[in-house]
Amino acid sequence: MKKLEFSLIALLLTVLYAIPAAAQVGNVYIHDPSTIAFCDGKYYTFGTGSGGLMSDDGWTWRDGAVRTGGGVAPDVIKIGDRYLVAYSAGYPGTEGKTRGVVTTMWTKTLDPESPDFGYTEPELVAWAGDDEDCWAIDPAFLMGPDGRLWCTYGTYFGAIRIVELDPKTGKRMAGNKAVDIAIDCEATAMMYKDGWYYLLGTHGTCCDGVNSTYNIVVGRSRSATGPYLDNMGRDMLRGGGKMVLSAGNRATGPGHFGHFVEAEGVEKMSFHYEADYNRSGRSVLAVRSLLWKNGWPVAADPFKEGTYEIESERRGYALELAVDFVRQQGAMRAFRIDPNEPVVELEEQKLSDVIGGWPAGEIAVRAGDYMFRPHQKWTVTAVPDKGGYLGAPYYKITIAGTDRALAATEDGELTAVPVYTGADEQLWRIEQLIDGTFRILNKVPCCCGDQLCLMSTGDSTVALGKFDFASDNCKWNFRDR
């Protein structure tokens, strides 16, 4: 981190709906957030200073997380049945003798209300003196596939370094020497995937509100200790780095990357924006889906409300109401066309042309050839007052121009009910997968405790079932066409 009664409810709902779907809600104000951790049914993240934020669902956040030690830019990782927390302190100005120290401590739980809650005494694991080209702040953890525990640290003013820690004690491995792995970045983090170690760094300037230039870049290596090269072969020790996320959507200065794997094929990245234009330019917690393209991590764009064809990855058929196909006016055209015949623009089939023939009650749902007909156009709308999940609110999915909503029945089947009522069976969790497709889960869990996903079990048959990233039956695309 570096320088440079009803009316009240109506008002609350107005505020909630005014917040873009990409934003979290509640108390989201934090700087230098740690990787989000899940503990005993709740989500936690810690920031610079003391304490942090917690959430029951990953969407609505509040104060309440407790972290001792103060300092700046902490991180947290679960190892076995305990949580290891790191933070840095002693940056320039403290006793005038150091450019920072990194310490670690353990706790059995992150829930401050639990009788098992409490931190051990901190252990010193990294440091940097005035004569070193490094500031020992902004620590971050990675547990490698071989069970080795790594910690990176450092700032823009000098090198980023990596040390190995003992995963049993949280202490620095005896005799381990810090290795320089990058420059021109700070607030680093690491990931491992498919034989590659990835180093995420925050490039640019922070702590300057809407003028902060923070952005997140990445390089990769076959070894935890580097060298880390970007997509053009540039070494991060020489300033390389491929862009992962920069400013946009009325928020600037993304930094302090954190990696959260929710399920196979479902990955999220947490970070903060230095300044959210919709929240007085304050620093806020943010979450995006994380995609992978050609072996590189990519921040997904926020999912946007709108009217879409919902297309099955299995066959390419479109989700639709199971109603009779209504032909539009016009006969078959001759193969030989009179070149002098006037050219006219045809109208698309309108909802008013067909809705009178639809059943009044529930209508079954299927998949079929997309013809941009009214029974195939779905409007997706965020319902932020109904809660959410990590990074987003629940959505309602209705036939465009109507209040007829996609829903799950008591038996776990799909249907389209005549009117959206806000019932949990009519709410949907929409998450982009690492390959760019989407999974669509119903809010109501089944008897096994899992939320069931929308599936194309046959080319034209749709149902609800357990999510399987390996199956295209479980994957959908939202097409604006």
Q: List pLDDT tens digits, range 149-190.
A: 999 999 998 999 999 999 999 999 999 999 999 999 999 999
Predicted pLDDT of residue 9? 34
The full DSSP string for 232-258 is TS-BGGGT--EEEE-SBTTEEEEEEEE
At the top level of CATH, the class of 306-337+347-479 is mainly beta
Topology of domain 19-299 in CATH is Tachylectin-2; Chain A (2.115.10)
The residue whose two tokens read 């080319």 is 459
Residue 216 has pLDDT above 50, yes or no: yes
Is-cis flag, bond preceding 227, omega within 30?
yes
Backbone angles phi, psi at 210, to 5 degrees: -70, -10
Buried b or exposed e, range 415-454, using 16+ CB within 10 angstroms: bbbeebeeeebbbbbbbbbbeebbbbbbbbeeeeeebbbb
Write down the domain spans for the chain.
19-299, 306-337+347-479
Q: What is the pLDDT of residue 293?
A: 97
Partner residues linked to 89 by β-bridges:
101
For residue 71, report the phi and psi dihedrals to the nearest 5 degrees.
Answer: 75, -160
Mean pLDDT of the 300-313 span: 97
- Specify the residue for token string 């690491």: 190
Element (H, E) at 367: strand 365-368
Residues 383-415: tens digit of each pLDDT = 999 999 999 999 999 999 999 999 999 888 999
- Asked if the domains at 19-299 and 306-337+347-479 fall in one CATH topology, the answer is no
Q: What percent of the chain has pLDDT over 70?
A: 92
C-alpha span between 156 and 212 (Å, rounded): 14
Please name the amino acid found at residue 160.
Answer: I
Tell whether the model's pLDDT for residue 247 goes beyond 50: yes
Say what the pLDDT of residue 131 is. Answer: 75
At residue 328 the predicted structure's pLDDT band, cuts being 50, 70 and 90, is confident
pLDDT of residue 447 exceeding 80, the answer is: no
CA-to-CA separations, 236 to 109, 163, 228, in angstroms, rounded? 36, 17, 6
Question: Hey, is 97 helix, strand or coil?
Answer: coil
In one letter, which amino acid is 263? Answer: A
